[in-house]
Structure formats: structure tokens, C-alpha cells
């Protein structure tokens, strides 16, 4: 990578949010590298989606393609070993007594950011981008703005760098994130998000709904469906 100020490392899972963040990063930085994590998540289909999304973005957006650099896929199987959650085990998805869904993997996003910073350190990138959002996932404490700001401080002190952590979706809901995608890449981008991204907790892609693929009933599908419906309604009014 060249000038650190032009370089970003982005957490890219292959889901709807991280794909919008990738488009945002490609629009804002000259050199963008992606990082994905394999931790035995039961919707490993996300990891396949990543490759389809790379291909589709390169075809539809030649300008962005020249900004898109190396992809880093990191094995974090340790998360599977130390946690017992519905994201990594074949358990029913339900809410816990603490108000958190049992898809919550404690500290997952903190670990992701630490690994991303280690990669950014080595690649001499100033910027780290993540799709954390306080609006829709307020139950996940490691998606909260204060947690991200505290991580930025801890990473900068602990690695003696001046990283800047960006969370473009932090204060917007799903409908607004669709509108952001439309602003960034028009229908070509929203089509890629509908067709290629994967969000469903159960990893189901058999049924194509108007909001994309998924089981239609898990919390992630419900959120995606309601966000898309609201976005379409706002676009029509
Ligand atoms: Zn689902």
C-alpha cells in the first residue's frame, strides 16, 4: 500500500451491511483491502458470497475495481471453541434473559477490530472500516459507538499508531443504508446487494424474496425484509 492516509482495511463478511461499507470505502479510499473471518459460523455461505460480490463489483464498477486490493481470510476457529452461541452451534435462535439474542458471540467485534488493526499495521493503512450499527443491533454491546471509540483509543495506544475507525452505518437504519447504497452505486449496486449478499442466520438461499435470499423468518431476515420494505416505500413517496 502507498500513502497510509489513502489506505483502508475493511471488515467484509459478505453480508448486506459490510457490502455497503465496502462500496463506501471504495468510493472514499484509493487502496482498499478486505478482511474476512472463518470461525465455523453456521452461515458459512456468507464466505462464498464474498467471492461473488468481489466479481460482481469488479464487473459493474471499473473505477472501484482499481481501488480494490488484497483479500485476507483469517481463521478464527478459536471463537467456535470458546463460545456457545446460536451463530456457531445448531441451536434455536432465541432471546436470552439479559435481552441479548443467543446469536451474540461475546467480544467478537472487538476481536475482529484487533485483528483488522494488526493487518492494517502491517499493510501501513490508516483507516479501518466496519459495518457496526447501533440503530438496528442495539442489543450487541460491541457494535455500540462508545465501544468502537474505546477500541480506537486502545488500538492506537497499544500499537502506537493513529488508526481511524470508520462505521458509516452506525446511526442509520436498514432503510437508510439501502438509500446510501443507491447514492453510492445506483441500481447496479442495490442489485448486487439483493442478489449476492447473504444475511440469513440459517444460511438458507433457496427462496428469492423481493429483498433477497433467506429463510424469511430468522431475526436477520426479518430485519432485512422490513428495512427493504421501508426503503421502497420511502423511495416511492
Ligand atoms: Zn433467515
Q: Tell me, what CATH number does 39's domain have?
A: 3.40.50.620
CA of 200 to the centre of ligand 1 (A): 4
User: Residue 213 domain-assigned?
Assistant: no
- Does residue 226 lie within any of the structural domains? no
β-sheet bridge partners, residue 68:
32
Ligand 1 center from residue 159 Cα (angstroms): 38
Tell me if 19 is assigned to some domain: yes
Structure confidence at residue 79 as a pLDDT band (50, 70, 90): confident
Ligand 1 centroid, distance to 162 Cα (angstroms): 38
Q: Rounded to an integer, what distance in angstroms lies between the CA atom of residue 165 and that of residue 167? A: 7
What residue numbers bound the domain in which 98 lies? Answer: 4-199
Ligand 1 center to residue 198 CA distance, Å? 9
When divided into structural domains, the chain yields a total of 1
Average pLDDT over residues 5-31: 96
Is a pLDDT exceeding 80 seen at residue 82?
no
For residue 92, the model assigns a pLDDT of: 64
Q: Does residue 215 lie in a domain region?
A: no
| Average pLDDT, rounded, for the chain | 90
Residue 52, domain member (yes or no): yes
Banded pLDDT at 237 (limits 50, 70, 90): confident
208 falls within a domain: no
Distance of CA 67 to the CA centre of its chain: 18
Burial 33-71 (b: 16+ CB within 10 A, else e): bbbbbebbbbbebbbebbeebbebbeeebeebeebbbee
Give the pLDDT confidence of 99-151 residue by residue, as tens digits: 666 666 788 899 999 999 999 999 999 999 999 998 875 578 888 999 999 99
Cα(205) to centroid(ligand 1), Å: 9
Q: Kindly calculate the radius of gyration of the chain based on its CA atoms and give it in whole angstroms.
A: 17
Q: How far is the C-alpha of 208 from the C-alpha of 215, rounded, in Å?
A: 9
Instruction: Give me ligand 1 centre to Cα 155, in Å.
Output: 34
pLDDT at 87: 57
Grid cell, residue 188, equals 447496479
pLDDT surpassing 70 at residue 56: yes
pTM of the complete model beyond 0.75: yes
Looking at the domain assignment, is residue 218 inside a domain?
no
Q: Is residue 113 part of a domain?
A: yes
> Would you state the pLDDT for residue 94?
66
Amino acid at each position: 500500500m502507498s500513502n497510509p492516509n489513502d489506505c483502508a482495511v475493511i471488515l467484509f463478511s459478505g453480508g448486506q451491511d459490510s457490502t455497503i461499507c465496502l462500496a463506501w470505502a471504495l468510493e472514499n479510499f484509493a487502496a482498499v483491502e478486505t478482511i474476512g473471518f472463518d470461525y465455523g459460523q453456521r452461515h458459512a455461505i456468507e464466505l462464498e458470497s464474498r467471492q461473488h460480490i468481489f466479481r460482481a463489483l469488479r464487473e459493474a464498477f471499473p473505477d472501484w475495481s482499481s481501488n480494490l486490493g488484497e483479500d485476507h481470510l483469517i481463521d478464527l476457529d478459536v471463537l467456535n471453541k470458546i463460545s456457545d452461541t446460536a451463530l456457531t452451534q445448531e441451536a434455536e435462535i432465541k432471546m436470552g434473559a439479559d435481552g441479548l439474542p443467543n446469536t451474540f458471540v461475546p467480544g467478537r467485534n472487538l476481536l475482529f477490530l484487533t485483528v483488522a488493526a494488526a493487518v492494517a499495521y502491517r499493510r501501513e493503512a490508516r483507516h479501518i472500516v466496519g459495518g457496526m450499527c447501533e440503530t438496528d443491533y442495539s442489543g450487541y454491546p460491541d457494535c455500540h459507538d462508545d465501544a468502537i471509540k474505546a477500541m480506537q483509543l486502545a488500538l492506537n495506544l497499544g500499537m502506537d499508531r493513529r488508526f481511524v475507525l470508520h462505521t458509516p452505518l452506525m446511526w442509520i437504519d436498514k432503510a437508510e443504508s439501502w438509500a446510501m447504497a443507491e447514492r453510492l452505486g445506483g441500481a447496479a449496486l442495490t442489485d448486487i446487494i439483493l442478489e449476492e449478499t447473504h444475511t440469513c442466520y440459517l444460511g438458507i438461499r433457496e427462496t428469492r424474496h423481493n429483498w433477497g435470499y433467506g429463510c424469511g423468518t430468522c431475526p436477520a431476515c426479518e430485519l432485512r425484509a422490513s428495512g427493504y420494505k421501508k426503503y421502497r416505500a420511502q423511495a416511492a413517496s
